[in-house]
Amino acid sequence: MGRNHHEALEPAPDAAATAETDELFAVLSNANRRFVLSHLAQRETPPPLDHVAGALAEWSDDLSREDARIALHHVHLPKLEEAGLVTYDDTVELSDDADGSLDLIDDV
């Protein structure tokens, strides 16, 4: 089978870089996680987890504040942290590695 004209212009993808890119897109595929990143990018100081939960609940039609806090704590923030995009404990903060990822999402 022949190569198309796009393949001839692009270098062969590195397997590790491809896996990393796939992971990043999987993390960013969720609208709640994109909202969290966008919200954090607009803040000058890292907000407390409860503030982020309130903002997510206000933005989402499907989540109460408590449901948003639970989802953030048990699902969304661990996935964002594993991808190297945030750190969190009492506050939630964008990591230095998040800058490039913010270019991939539109303001939600």
**19 residue type, one letter:** A
Which CATH code for domain 17-102? 1.10.10.10
Q: Please tell me the chain's helix, strand, coil percentages from 3-state DSSP, rounded to the nearest 5.
A: 60, 5, 35
Domain boundaries, the chain: 17-102
pTM of the model: 0.76
What is the distance between the alpha carbons of residues 66 and 72, in angstroms, rounded to a whole number?
Answer: 10
Measured from the Cβ of residue 12, the count of other Cβ atoms closer than 10 Å reads: 7
- 98 contacts 86 by C-beta, under 8 angstroms: yes
What tens-digit pLDDT sequence spans the chain (108 residues)? Answer: 455 555 556 665 676 667 777 888 899 999 999 999 999 999 999 999 999 999 999 999 999 999 999 999 999 999 999 999 999 998 999 887 676 666 656 544
